[in-house]
Structure 1
Amino acid sequence: MAFELIAGSYCGAAPVPETALDAWNFDPFLLFALTALLILMRRDARGVAAVAVLTLAFVSPLCALSVALFSARVVHHLLLVLVAAPLLAVALPGRAGRGSAAVWFLLSTAALWLWHVPAAYDFALRDMAVYWVMQVTLLGTAIGFWRAVLGQEPGFQALLWALAGLIQMGLLGALLTFAPQALYAAHVVAPLSWGLTPLGDQQLGGLIMWVPAMLPYLVIIGHLARQSWGRAGGAETAGGETAGGEAG
């Protein structure tokens, strides 16, 4: 990865605590894309909520903060794959033919893990073109995964794939938490301004990915379980009524 396409960090220089709240990103191309998506999603509250989440991730000071801190980058990624992606998955039109949950699980897991390989991660943070490849592949594969999971009939398979997503996320978080040394050159210096060592920042990011990131999965798993139980209860009721009618 010695070459560069568009050198520089998309979100700008790593801010220090005194300037972090002023580090908003008003990139006109980004604002145009978010506005276009908002217009597309305007009739669906879940889609509007997804645009709000994407705005938080890319326009607010979180964008610049994620240049400084790995832990902030983890929050940024989790907003994409665990909040914006499932909201868009149920809001985007064309809900039929979502594809195999197994295929999308493999693709989304591969994207998440590959972009946390230190060489790939550091490359994305120093090159704006690669940065957007990172963002698009993370968000796109996560949308595909959640469309496949949430588009299935409620039942064991949907629950199984959501649980698989939880496990792989937790495993990556655990590996980052217990890594014996800081892995990312992009975050060797900036965390010191925030009172963190590079390793401490990485451990915080791993813990965020390991524990709080479980909550969106558990919410979705609970929703799928309730749908499955409701469907099973409805089928039993319908079966009982049919049997009663035949006996009568």
Structure 2
Amino acid sequence: MEPATLPYCGAAPLPAEILLRWNLDPLLLLVLGAGYVIFRQMGARQGALVAGFAVLAVLFVSPLCALSSALFSARTVHHVLLITLAAPLIALALPRRSGGLAMWTIVHAVVLWAWHAPAAYAFALAHDAGYALMQVTLLGTAICFWRAVVSASAPAAGAALLGTMMQMGLLGALLTFAGRAIYAWHWTTTQPWGLSPLEDQQLAGLVMWVPGGGAYLLAALYLAGAWMRTREDATAGPVPA
């Protein structure tokens, strides 16, 4: 039995039809094209911007979009890639703008947690406008967060990344150990994929907890390593002739 209202990505697909479920919505393609043009006009570098929008195309055009109607774990993969891959690529493409790191760290965390409340999640799947609002706010706050990270000092950026890793890991742990499936939308959509609703939710929690949180940890370690190398070079001073 399907939910009464279809989500933006369509009805939950069966495994046999998933490879045919591409999303070629003209409005979506127009939005992606317009977004790319707008960012280019803002002075974004083409290489990273193309990579970022390629990730967005995979997320919203490929069968992953339809799969996220069936599996909460697929939705989580979608969101993790949105905020830890597409968003930093776009942020790296944009001109640097310092400030706002603490604010965007908090705002992005609030948005992430808010959309994982069962009522908000159900609203997003039941209304196209709600779905668009969910994706725009997740991506927009993530871009602002990563843009602030790349413009901040290494210690401040590392602290923000580790804080984000911890809050994402906590959310993932709560989903993993909830003990019951809390997203009613997926109570009837996971079984064709060999998962119970609870198993699907546990898998989603692990995705958010490990690779999701790990992305922020890797970024923090990279920044820490670059910062230490810079300090070592400054301490060593110029090489004698």
Corresponding position of 2:137? 137
1:11 is paired with a residue whose SS is coil
Corresponding position of 1:190? 189
Task: Name the aligned partner's letter for residue 119 of structure 2.
Answer: A
Say whether the 8 Å CA contact 1:8–1:128 is kept in structure 2: no
Corresponding position of 1:11? 9
Structure 2: runs of 5 or more not aligned: none
TM-score normalised over the length of structure 2: 0.91
Task: Name the aligned partner's letter for residue 51 of structure 1.
Answer: F
Shift of 1:221: 1.4
Say whether the 8 Å CA contact 2:45–2:93 is kept in structure 1: no
Structure 1: runs of 5 or more not aligned: 1-6
Corresponding position of 1:115? 115
Shift of 1:237: 2.6
The correspondence of residues 18-57 of structure 1 with structure 2, limited to 5 A, is 18-39=16-37, 40-41=39-40, 43-57=45-59
Aligned residues: 232
Shift of 1:233: 1.6
Corresponding position of 1:200? 199
1:144-164 C-alpha deviation (Å, 9 max, x unpaired): 1111111113x3211111111
Shift of 1:43: 4.6
Q: Distance in 2 between matches of 1:35 and 1:226?
A: 37
Task: Name the aligned partner's letter for residue 178 of structure 1.
Answer: F
Q: Distance in 2 between matches of 1:157 and 1:38?
A: 30
Say whether the 8 Å CA contact 2:45–2:94 is kept in structure 1: no
Task: Name the aligned partner's letter for residue 150 of structure 2.
Answer: L
Q: Distance in 2 between matches of 1:157 and 1:92?
A: 20
Q: Distance in 1 between matches of 2:194 and 2:6?
A: 25
Task: Name the aligned partner's letter for residue 13 of structure 1.
Answer: A
1:18 is paired with a residue whose SS is helix
Corresponding position of 1:87? 89
Corresponding position of 1:4? none
Range with bigger deviation, 8-17 or 37-46: 37-46
1:131-190 C-alpha deviation (Å, 9 max, x unpaired): 11100110111111111111113x321111111111111110000000011001110101
Corresponding position of 1:175? 174
Q: Distance in 2 between matches of 1:170 and 1:25?
A: 31
Task: Name the aligned partner's letter for residue 32 of structure 2.
Answer: L
Corresponding position of 1:69? 71
Say whether the 8 Å CA contact 2:97–2:147 is kept in structure 1: no
Corresponding position of 1:3? none
Shift of 1:223: 1.9
TM-score normalised over the length of structure 1: 0.88
1:212 is paired with a residue whose SS is helix
Shift of 1:8: 4.0
2:190 is paired with a residue whose SS is helix
Q: Which runs of 4+ in 1 moved over 3 A?
A: 36-43
Shift of 1:213: 1.5
Say whether the 8 Å CA contact 1:173–1:209 is kept in structure 2: yes
Q: Distance in 2 between matches of 1:194 and 1:123?
A: 24
Q: Distance in 2 between matches of 1:32 and 1:136?
A: 15
